[in-house]
Each structure stands twice: as C-alpha cells, then as structure tokens.
Structure 1
Amino acid sequence: MIKTPAQGILPYQQITKLITAGAVSAAVPIEDRQIQPASFDLRLGKKAYRLISSFLPELSPISSRLDVMDFYQSDLVMYEVDLSRGAILEKGHVYLVPLLESLALPRNIRARANPKSTTGRLDVFTRIVTDLNAGFDEIRSGYSGPLFLEIVPRSFAIKVKTGQSLNQIRFVRGQAGSTDATVQALHRQEPLLYHNQPQRKPLSAKELRTDRGLFLRIDLRGEDRHGATVIGYRAKKNSHVIDLSKIGYYAAQDFWEPLYRHRQDSLLLEPEEFYILASKERISVPPDYAAEMVAYEAACGELRTHYAGFFDPGFGYGLDGEIAGTQVVLEVRPHDVPFLIHDGQTFFKVMYDRMIDVPQRLYGVGLGSSYQRQGLTLSKHFKV
C-alpha cells in the first residue's frame, strides 16, 4: 500500500468527501462540473451589490454592511442588481456578489481562491471576501460562514447570471509547498518545462532557474498567423458587452488589437492597458502535484503579470498521457509608467504544491478543459 502525504492540496475525491460531510454546502444542489482535479468552482448567487468602493470586513460580518433598509443611508452600497435572469456589470465599477456556496471547514483545512482562467483573460478582477477577515482570497482554517465575490470588470462590461463560475478555491491541509531542491528533482525525473520552439525539448538542468519558485520567461517572437507574426493582444478601450454564457461567439477584432513582432523582439507596455501574452516555455504539472503562478517583483516598477493562477494536476499532458507541456497565457497590466520588455525576459514564476493524493480526474482528460493545448489564446468566448 502506497502511503499518501499527510499534508498538501486536497484532490477531487477528497473535495467530494468535504461536500458529503457538509463542509461545502450550497443553496442549490452542487453540480459535478464544479469539482476539478484539485479545485472547486464557486457560483454566483442571485444578486449583486454595486459598491462605492472595495472594503475588508475585518471588524464586522459582511451581511451587516449589506442588509440596510435604505441604500441612500449606506456608506458602502449604492444599489442592488438582480442576477437571476442575467445582468450587466459595468467596467470600472465594484460589485459584491454573495455566492451560492458556503463553508464549514474542519479545523485543519484552509482554502485559497483564485480567478478562473477565463475570468482573468477578460480582465475581470475578482477576489473572495469572507467574514471577519483582514485579507482577500485566503480562507482561514475552520472558517464557517458565507462566501462573497468582489468583481471589478476592467476592460469590458460583462453580462453574468446566477450559477456562473468566475472563481475557484483549493482546499489545503498543512503545508503543501515544495522546495527548490524538490522542484529540481522533479524536473530530472519528469520534465516540468519544455522549450516552445522548435522541437519542444525539455529544458536542461542548467537552464532551469529556481528561487522560491520556478521562473519562466516571456515570448515576444510569437507565431505566424496568416502571414503575420502575432505576439499578443491588447484590449480595445471601447467595445460591446461580453455575455459570459456565449462560447465561441464574439469576433476577436471587435474587442482586441493584435500585436505583431517587432524587429528587436521587444514590446512597450503602456500604463493601465491590458495585454494577453504567452510564456516562452511550455509547462507540465505531474499528477501528484498542483501549481500556481505567483507575482514576480522585478524591483524596477510595478507590473501585474497575471490574474488567474491555478494549474491542476495533469496540465500539459496529452490524451494518452504523453507530456509535451502547454504554454502559459499571461494577463498583463502595467501601472504608473511605460514598461519595455524583451523576448526571453524573466516574467513570472510558478510554485509547485504537493497533492495529498493523485486525483481520480486529471486536467484535460474527459473534463472538456478549455486550455489544455493552448498557445497564445484568448478566452473561450471568442471565435477561433
């Protein structure tokens, strides 16, 4: 009998047990589609509150700030929006949505939230808020109570509806993180990074860079599309509403400006513009590990390199188990000053976390995963 680690990320089968035990419950039945190999999709509730500003409920329960008889007397809420039949959330506005799910976590289980990949690629800024908490997205061990999602559409107005999922959470017992030595050993056993071009060979041990995480670089050479080399996309400032229920529906050119390769393999990022770019390496996540993108501070200006960041076990694996790796798509927004980047520049890093057990389901295998074989890819709402 193979012993499983006592600490780590809970896999699909243990998330299912949490639901059965009532640690995760919902106002309407939980759907099987919500349970991913190492994460759980959260669903929007029936209403949204348009807020004056973001806030943290460190001193009082969130409901006490929302349950007011007259919103004109509230220091936080402007008005209420009904999501049951779908509603438009305007860009640049702050909304708070009570989620359908609530938690009653065991004392040894905590959780961490992240936007789903599609959410990040639409430049929708989201984060989980819980009662009496001084931070976002981190849910303390033993937490019992409701979940709320703060939503700020940045580039596009979006139409959302009750039951849709914009965020996901992972459940963690103990310490799940891996040391750089562990990551290096993993790469020797089964490569974690591959060159994207031309033959997708694994990176050598000398090429692998670690420092409290695995570093990856930016690709500004791109790929040829209809005689032109596209290296990324920039969101247009004025466009129509994106209905999140419409898949493969919108023409990309109505919302995005393609960016083409520069002769110096560089790109000037403008402040507060939103870009979709891709990694130079292809990444794979072994079945007994999960991974997460984390912020990389270059100490030369503030540059947000991603909104979404979970990689489930099996990410970068083929249908037959072959490993080729998958490019990482980056959601990039520079702040304050223009920022010049070059092809091959270190741009972000990935942390590998140990699973408590291998999930009964792996990413991409029979799950209809949208981005398993992605290159430079917009969200699934746009026509291919």
Structure 2
Amino acid sequence: MTRAASSKGILPYQHITQLIARRSITSEHPIEDRQIQPASLDLRLGKKAYRLISSFLPELSAISSRLNVLDFYQSDLVMYEMDLTQGAILEKGHVYLVPLLEQLDLPATLRARANPKSTTGRLDVFTRVVTDLNAGFDEIRAGYRGPLYLEVVPRSFAIKVRTGDSLNQIRFVRGDATVSDSALQKLHGTDPLLFHNASPPKALPQKEFRTDRGLFLRIDLTGSAREDAVIGYRAKKNSHVIDLAKIGHYAALDFWEPLKRHRQDSLLLEPEEFYILASKERIRVPPGYAAEMVAYEAACGELRTHYAGFFDPGFGYGDGKMRGTQVVLEVRPHDVPFLIHDGQTFFKVVYDRMLTVPTQVYGTALGSSYQRQALTLSKHFKA
C-alpha cells in the first residue's frame, strides 16, 4: 500500500541524498552510499575518542570548549583521549565521547532525531548523540548548525572500534509525523501491521489490535513451542573483546547464555542483567511509513525494553507479500527482579508518516541484516 506525498513526515532516501548534495549534511570524508538508508543516515565515528569521567549535557557551552584543554589533569570531564584511526578498545562500563565525521547545517523547517543501530543495541552498547547548547540527548533542534558527538558506553562487552564505524543513525523530520491511533486501526484493516507468529502467520484480528498513543506488542517466552526451545539469551559477565569489523566471527556461547523455555512460560529478569528476547507478534512497516519503539512507562515495571528501536520503511513488508518480522528486544531490568510471562504486554511502537515513499526500502538490496529475523543476536556472531 502506498501513500500520497505529505507536507509533514520523515525524509526518505532520495531526500537525504538531496540534503547531502545541498551540503546540509557535510563531512571531510565523503559520505558513502552505504550510509544512506530508506529513512535514515548512518553516522560514522571520527578520529578520536575521549574517555570521560561522566556523562554530561552541554546546555551552557559548546562541547569543543570542554574537550580542547591543554592538560586533561585540570579537566572536570576528560580523563584522556584515544586515537581511533588504527582501532581502539572501549572498555565496558566506561563513558566515551566521539566527535562524528558528519556535521549538520539544517534548514529552519527540519529537525532530526538519532537512534542506536540495531546491531549496536544487540551488543548492549549504549549510545546517544550530543549537540552543542542542547539540554537533551538524540533530539536535534530545527535549524541546527554544527558538529555531532556520540556518547558511547559499552555495558556488557568491551568493543573494538575504528574511524568510520557506524554505531548510530539519524533521521530528519518535518513537522508532526506521528500516525494517530485511529489511523493505525484503519491502516491495519486494509494493510495489516501485526501478525501472529504462527505457521503460516495470520493477521491479528481487529479486536486484538491494541493502541494507546502507539501500538502495543507482547513478549514471546515459548519460542518454537518445544519444551527445550531457546526463548532468549543473557549476556555473560566476563568475555573477550568484540571487534565490530568481524562479521559472523564469534561463537555465541562464548558471550551468551541461552535461556530455555520454562514450564510455566515465565522468566525472572535479574536487575542490571542484559537479555535478548523477541516479540510475540510479527510487525510490518509499509513503505509510506516508519516506526519506532518507545520507552515503556515506569508504571508497567522498572525495565528498559530496547536500546535500538527504529524500523525503516519496508521492514517485515518487502514487496508487500511478507507477513511481518519478529521484533528483537534488548532488555535490562533496574532496581528489583522482575517476573514476566509469555504473552505479557511488553512494549509499544509508534508509527510515523514518511514525507513520500522512499525509492529504496528495507531489504536485501541495501544489505539489511534483520529483514527475516526471529530471535537473532547481532551479526557478529556465527549463525
């Protein structure tokens, strides 16, 4: 299903290429075609990383003024700097700030928002974009002109990164792009957005399609329904470095503990442990839309259900014949143990309109890694 072009929405692939041509997005290193996604642009790490004492927000001063000091021993923020051009290891639990290769010069009508890439989230690497004179992370005000910085905090694994690696992505938005609950209900009736994860997958009946400022999905703790089915993974506390350049290289069992189906189809989440789980439903994003997982309300439990959460147009949709793709969740409970059950409402997805349908949609043509995923670790692990 396609939509007519709108005056409000997320900029698609072809408009991002125009922003680059007009120098609204610039870089000393030419922007590569591989960076441009159906509704976002991959951002690249620059030449240096700064090990920080803590996270911070630069509401009152330019970030460069906090980094360009002659003696880091006199700095209230920076401990030391690292060269990324030949690769460097970012230790888990430490805070790093990396100037990105890309800079922005946005028109007054255009704002931007950043998200970790799916692979970044599945490695439990916490990232947030920071901009000058801003009181928040990941939100970039309309008309912003200046550099971009990425805060990076590996949580479960030490990682090796290099100049040019992409850990996060940015999308550009004009006006209010959010799709209302009533519009979601109508869209699902004509071009289903959710399917039961069955064989074959069947569209959710309208009575099971629940919305409240977004679309609710549930957690799957049965897997393939076999008694010994793997229903998730928990990160091991001690493991080796993961080199982000090595794809399909690592044995999963060296880094992850598989979680088997419990006889009561429940799972006890331990505080500050990191889990990879999957959704009960399959989700589809038609080409005229994009979607994003949003923070779960604290009233429903003290846990984070995702780190990455942006779905490009065409995710789980393809040429329109795909019947959705499961959502993989990066889960970390806080403060107290938290018991979850199969089929429990667990997270929410907000749909946004595209300004117009992208000329490229999510799928194999763009090297998309997770179009037909089930319960899937990051692409660095052997299948």
Common fold: TM-score over 0.5: yes
The match for 1:369 is 368
CA distance in 2, matches of 1:271, 1:63: 36
Pair 1:230 & 2:230 matched: yes
The residue type paired with residue 207 of structure 2 is K
Pair 1:187 & 2:202 matched: no
The residue type paired with residue 84 of structure 1 is T
- Percent sequence identity over aligned pairs: 79
Q: Deviations over 1:168-194 (max 9, x none)?
A: 011000110011000001101100000
The match for 1:245 is 245
CA distance in 2, matches of 1:64, 1:146: 13
What SS is found at the alignment partner of 1:366? helix
- Compared with structure 1, are the counterparts of its residues 248 and 224 closer, same or farther at alpha carbon in structure 2 (3 Å cutoff)? farther
- Compared with structure 1, are the counterparts of its residues 157 and 224 closer, same or farther at alpha carbon in structure 2 (3 Å cutoff)? farther
The residue type paired with residue 212 of structure 1 is R
TM-score (norm 1): 0.98
The match for 2:263 is 263
Superposition misfits of 4+ residues, deviation over 3 angstroms? none
The match for 1:157 is 158
What SS is found at the alignment partner of 1:240? coil
Deviation (angstroms), 1:33:
0.5
CA distance in 2, matches of 1:293, 1:91: 25
CA distance in 1, matches of 2:200, 2:5: 36
TM-score (norm 2): 0.98
Pair 1:93 & 2:94 matched: yes
Say what the alpha-carbon RMSD is for the aligned residues.
1.1
The match for 2:333 is 334
**1:16-95 counterparts in 2 under 5 A?**
16-95=17-96
Deviation (angstroms), 1:15:
0.4
In the alignment, is the contact (CA less than 8 A) between 1:224 and 1:230 conserved in 2?
A: no
Deviation (angstroms), 1:64:
0.1
The residue type paired with residue 228 of structure 1 is D
Deviation (angstroms), 1:224:
6.5
Deviation (angstroms), 1:302:
1.2
The match for 1:310 is 310
In the alignment, is the contact (CA less than 8 A) between 1:315 and 1:363 conserved in 2?
A: yes
How many residues align? The count is 381
Deviation (angstroms), 1:305:
0.3
**1:275-286 counterparts in 2 under 5 A?**
275-286=275-286
CA distance in 2, matches of 1:71, 1:290: 43
The residue type paired with residue 128 of structure 2 is R
What SS is found at the alignment partner of 1:234? strand
- Compared with structure 1, are the counterparts of its residues 259 and 346 closer, same or farther at alpha carbon in structure 2 (3 Å cutoff)? same
CA distance in 2, matches of 1:224, 1:166: 34
What SS is found at the alignment partner of 2:350? strand
Deviation (angstroms), 1:368:
1.4
The residue type paired with residue 168 of structure 1 is Q
In the alignment, is the contact (CA less than 8 A) between 1:72 and 1:78 conserved in 2?
A: yes
Q: Deviations over 1:92-136 (max 9, x none)?
A: 000000000000000000000000000000000000000000000
Deviation (angstroms), 1:323:
2.3
**1:279-294 counterparts in 2 under 5 A?**
279-294=279-294
In the alignment, is the contact (CA less than 8 A) between 1:114 and 1:308 conserved in 2?
A: yes
